[in-house]
Structure 1
Amino acid sequence: MYDIAKKINVKVDWRVSIATFILIFIFQIFFALNGLFLISGFSFCLYPIIALGFTERNNWSELGIRKPENMTSLLISILLSGVVVILSYIIFSIFIGNTSSNYFYVVSLKDIELFGINNTPKLGIMLLSGAIFCTMPALTEEIYFRGFMQKHLENRFGFKIGNFIQGLCFGLIHIAYCWLIVYDINVIWGMVPSITIVGMIYGWVRNETNSIFPAIITHSAANFIIFIIMYSIIIPEMI
C-alpha cells in the first residue's frame, strides 16, 4: 500500500491516518448494525495491515516497534488505566446499572451469548475468553492507534493534540464494538469519554517509552481488569 500511495503521489501523513480510521469506523458500524459478528472480528486484522502497509518497511520502527525506554512509565500507565477502569465501573454501576447503556454489561452479555453461559462459567471458557479479550485487541489496536495514527497526528499537531485525537478515535470505534452486541445509543455518553482517557494513557506511555510494547502491555492489563470484573461480579449477577 505504501508503494501504491507513492506511485500515485499520495503523501502518507495525518490525513491518511484519519481517512483510514473513518473507513474502518464505517465498516465496523455497518457490521454492527447488520449483526455480522464474525466479519467484525476478522476486521481487527485491518489495523496491523493498514499500519504496516502504509509504512515503508525500513521505517516500521517509527510505529514504535522497537525496544522500550523509561520502563518506569509502564507501571504508572498500568496504575492510571486501572484506576480509570475501576472508577468507570463504579460510576456506571451507580448511575446506569446493568443495562445496555453500560459498557461493562454489554461486554459481559457478549460472553454470555458467545459461549452460551447459563450457570457458573467453566474454567475452559474463562481461559479462552480471557486469552482473546486480553491479547487480540491490544496487539491489533495498539499498532494502529498508538503506532500509525498517533505518529502522524503528532507530526502535524504535536503530542498533546495528537494524543487526544487518537484517544478520541479509539473511544469512538468502541461504539461499533458495543452495537455489534446490542444497539443502544446511550452507551456512547459514558463509554466514549472513559475509553478516550484510557486511550490517551496508552498514547502517553507510548510517547514516554518510544515504543508500542508498553502500550500493548498496559492495554492488556486494563482489559484483564475488565475481564475480572465481568466474571467475578457482572456475569454471576446476570445468570
Structure 2
Amino acid sequence: MVFTAIPFFYYLARYRRAKGFLDYVGLRKPRRRTMLHATLFALAFVLPVLSLLYFLPGARDVVSGPNTVIGGLKAHGLSGAAVALLVCKAFVQTSLSEEILFRGFLAKRLIHRLGFVSGNLLQALLFGLVHLLVFIGQEFSVAVAAGVVLFAALGGWVNGYLNERLGNGSILPSWWLHALTNAITYGVLAFALS
C-alpha cells in the first residue's frame, strides 16, 4: 500500500484529481509481443537468481529467514494456503507495488528528466538498494548483499527497458516478469530446496 500511496498522493497533489492515475503509472495495454518478451526475460532470470541464492554462502539463509516471504511460505508447508499466499505475495504485494513505485513512478519521472540511459540506470540502482531491507536484523556477508543488490538492479534495469522501449510505457510487462520470477523463486526456495 505504501509503495502505491507515494505515487498516488504525488499525482493527487500535482493534478488535483484521481482520474488518469492508472495511465500515469503505466497500467495500460502494452505493445503486442511485449508480454512474450517479459516471459522470456523471466525465464532467463530464474536460473541465475536461484544459483546466486543457492550457491552463494549465506544467501539462501538470508532470503529464507523467518521474517521473509520464503520463510513465511516454509512455515505454512506445501498446502493450498501456502500456494495462495505465494500467488498473493509474488503477484500483488511485492511485484505490483514495486512496479508501480519503481517503474510506473520513479523510472518514468527520471527518464523524462534525465533521458533513458541515466534515468533507467538510477531507478534500477535505487531498486537494487531497496533490496537491502531483506538484510535487516540478519547476519550477512558483503558478497551476499552485493549479489542481491546487483541482481535486483539488473532486473530493475531490464524491467525499465522492457516497459519504456518495448512496451509502450506500460508496466504490465515488468509486472509479469517480476511476478513470474518471484513466484518461481519463492516456490523453489520454499518447497523444492528446503
Aligned-pair CA distance for 1:111: 5.1
Classify the secondary structure of the residue corresponding to 1:71.
Answer: coil
TM-score (norm 1): 0.67
Aligned-pair CA distance for 1:52: 1.3
1:66 aligns with 2:28: yes
What stretches of structure 1 move > 4 A for 4+ residues in a row? Answer: none
Point out the structure with max Rg over C-alpha.
1
Q: Which moved more, 1:82-91 or 1:207-216?
A: 82-91
> Which deviations, in whole Å up to 9, do the C-alpha atoms of 1:191-211 show, x marking residues without a partner?
011111111121122212121
- Once residues 155 and 146 of structure 1 are traced to their aligned partners in structure 2, the CA distance between those partners, rounded to angstroms, is 12
- Once residues 160 and 176 of structure 2 are traced to their aligned partners in structure 1, the CA distance between those partners, rounded to angstroms, is 12
Taking the TM superposition and a 5 Å limit, the aligned residue runs for 1:1-239 are 45-55=1-11, 56=15, 57-60=18-21, 61-68=23-30, 70-94=31-55, 96-97=56-57, 99=58, 102=59, 104-109=60-65, 110=68, 113-114=71-72, 117=75, 121-135=77-91, 136-176=93-133, 178-180=134-136, 182-186=138-142, 187-207=144-164, 208-209=166-167, 210-235=169-194
- Once residues 176 and 35 of structure 2 are traced to their aligned partners in structure 1, the CA distance between those partners, rounded to angstroms, is 8
Q: Residue type matched to 1:148 in 2? A: F
Q: 1:78–1:218: 8 Å Cα contact kept in structure 2?
A: yes
Q: Residue type matched to 2:183 in 1? A: F
Q: 2:34–2:162: 8 Å Cα contact kept in structure 1?
A: yes
Q: Aligned pair count? A: 182
Aligned-pair CA distance for 1:66: 2.1
Aligned-pair CA distance for 1:213: 1.8
Unmatched segments (≥5 aa) in structure 2: none
CA RMSD of aligned residues (A): 2.4
Q: Residue type matched to 2:188 in 1? A: I
Q: 1:51 to 1:86 in 2, by over 3 A?
A: same
TM-score (norm 2): 0.81
- Once residues 112 and 76 of structure 1 are traced to their aligned partners in structure 2, the CA distance between those partners, rounded to angstroms, is 27
